[in-house]
Amino acid sequence: MVWELGYPTAVSTLGNLSDNDRLAGRVAIVTGSSSGIGEEVARRFATAGASVLVNSSRSVDAGLAVAESLPDAHYVRADITVEGDPERLVAAALERWGRIDVLVNNAGTTEVIPHHELDRAGVEVWRRIFEVNVFGTWVMTMAAVPKLREQRGTVVNISSIAGLRATGSSIPYASSKAALNHQTVLLAKVLGPEVRVNAVAPGLIDTPWTADWDAVREAVRQVAPLKRSGRVGDVAEMVLALATSSYVTGQVLAVDGGLTIAL
Ligand code: NAD
């Protein structure tokens, strides 16, 4: 026990290590880690010493290449919306490493629909987006929770500022991320003290997903206090911080160059 300003502070097993071994000996599953934010999270975690289960639903070659480039990683193709696939991801991590410490729910989908084009946002679009961003994420978390409890582990959901403000690529997408934010908070309440649950809400990040969003990128440059779109490393840094912050749970943290305070 360390005493600071009269308050007792428990020494964290994760927080007091040097940068390169903050996740030493830990095992992480990162869904949708064949590209973009998920890939960078997998790379950042590996740099911090973690063993990483890399996943994607379709891009097998890219996923294999990410896993092969890391010191201790394994790729599994799985679609979080397919019955049995989340459990298969958990089983693959256990078979290889015998434990799970961190789950990063990064897999997500959208459809770009201007918000006023209500006819295009039919219920089938809502179903397709919620199937991945809300239901798939839920099932993935439920599959991992028993093992996360054993390790006093943690979940980091990749949400979006579209779930915090009246913005985003479509109304169904923004609504799905708002639901994910609330899923994060509600789960944090019931899974403590064993499991911490947090979310990162990125603003506009340069990834394959947003490669042709130049007009949006320019608008962000104009409006956001930090005057640029985000890099995958900006998000991965916060995911690592939340994964290793022993007294933070139930938080949704915007990583957006200040965009939400300017909207
Ligand atoms: P990306 O297209 O580079 O990566 C998406 C990944 O998710 C891919 O690996 C893909 O295979 C995987 N995936 C999609 N559906 C899946 C499923 N059903 N099962 C398993 N894997 C699946 O996109 P990105 O920009 O890196 O997005 C990653 C996350 O970040 C998403 O949840 C997205 O909503 C969120 N996000 C992105 C931005 C941005 O500006 N890029 C902003 C806010 C939030």
pLDDT(50) > 80: yes
Please compute the mean of the pLDDT values over residues 65-85 and round it to a whole number. Answer: 98
What are 151-203's pLDDT values in tens digits? 999 999 999 999 999 999 999 999 999 999 999 999 999 999 999 999 999 99
Q: Domain holding 191: CATH number?
A: 3.40.50.720
Locate the ligand 1 atom nearest the alpha carbon of residue 204 and give its number. 40
Closest CA to ligand 1's atom 2: 209
List residues with catalytic annotation. Answer: 173
14 or 108, higher pLDDT = 108
My answer on whether omega of the bond before 114 falls inside 30° of 0, hence cis, is no
- Whether residue 2 lies inside any domain: the answer is no
- Tokens standing for 7? 């308050």
pTM of the model: 0.94
Cα of 52 vs centre of ligand 1, distance in Å, is 17
User: Best of 205, 206, 259 to mutate for ligand 1, by most ligand atoms within 8 A of CB?
Assistant: 205
Between CA 52 and CA 74 the distance in angstroms is 7
Distance from Cα 215 to the centre of ligand 1, integer Å: 20
Domains of the chain: total? 1
Task: State both tokens at 57.
Answer: 């639903």
Distance 106 CA to ligand 1 centre (A): 6
DSSP per-residue codes, the chain: -EEETTEEEPPPTTTTS-GGGTTTT-EEEETT-SSHHHHHHHHHHHHTT-EEEEEESS-HHHHHHHHHTSSSEEEEE--TTSTTHHHHHHHHHHHHHS---EEEE---------TT-GGGS-HHHHHHHHIIIIIIHHHHHHHHHHHHHHHT-EEEEE--GGGTSS-SS-HHHHHHHHHHHHHHHHHHHHHTTT-EEEEEEE-SB-SGGGTT-HHHHHHHHHHSTT-S-B-HHHHHHHHHHHHT-TT--S-EEEESTTHHHH-
Counting atoms of ligand 1 from 1, which one is nearest the CA of 202?
Answer: 43
Q: Ligand 1 mean position to 188 CA, how many Å?
A: 23
Q: Which of 218, 206, 201, 194 is nearest to 252 (CA)?
A: 201
10: in domain: no
Instruction: Tell me if 188 is assigned to some domain.
Output: yes
Does the structure show a pLDDT above 70 at 30?
yes
Pocket test for ligand 1, best of 33, 56, 220 (most atoms within 8 A of CB): 56
Instruction: Write out residues with Cβ below 6 Å of ligand 1.
Output: 31-32, 34-38, 55-59, 79-81, 106-109, 132, 136, 158, 160, 202, 204-205, 207-210
- Position 245 pLDDT exceeds 60: yes
Distance (Å, rounded) from C-alpha 149 to C-alpha 134? 22
Mind listing the pLDDT tens digit for each residue in 117-158?
999 999 999 999 999 999 999 999 999 999 999 999 999 999
Share of the chain above pLDDT 70, in %: 93
pLDDT of amino acid 205: 98
Residue 125, C-beta contacts closer than 8 angstroms, at least 6 positions apart: 111, 113, 170, 172
pLDDT for position 263: 87
pLDDT at 6: 34
Mean of the per-residue pLDDT values of the chain: 94
Residue-range definition of the domain harbouring residue 129:
17-205+232-254
Is 30 domain-assigned?
yes
Instruction: Give tens-digit pLDDT for 90-119.
Output: 999 999 999 999 999 999 999 999 999 999
d(CA 157, CA 243): 11
Residue 3's pLDDT band, with cuts at 50, 70 and 90, is: very low
Task: For ligand 1, atom 24, name the residue with the nearest CA.
Answer: 36
Nearest residue (by CA) to ligand 1, atom 3, is 36
Asked, for residue 220, whether it belongs to a domain, the answer is no
Which pLDDT score, from 0 to 100, does residue 8 have?
33
Q: How large a percentage of the chain has pLDDT more than 90?
A: 92
Give domain status of residue 227, yes or no: no
> What is the pLDDT, as a whole number, of residue 17?
56
In a domain, 112, yes or no: yes
Q: Would residue 6 count as lying in a domain?
A: no
pLDDT value at position 10? 36
> pLDDT tier at 20 (50, 70, 90 boundaries)?
confident
Protein residue closest via CA to atom 44 of ligand 1? 160
Q: Give me ligand 1 centre to Cα 32, in Å.
A: 6
Q: How many whole angstroms separate alpha carbon 169 and alpha carbon 26?
A: 35
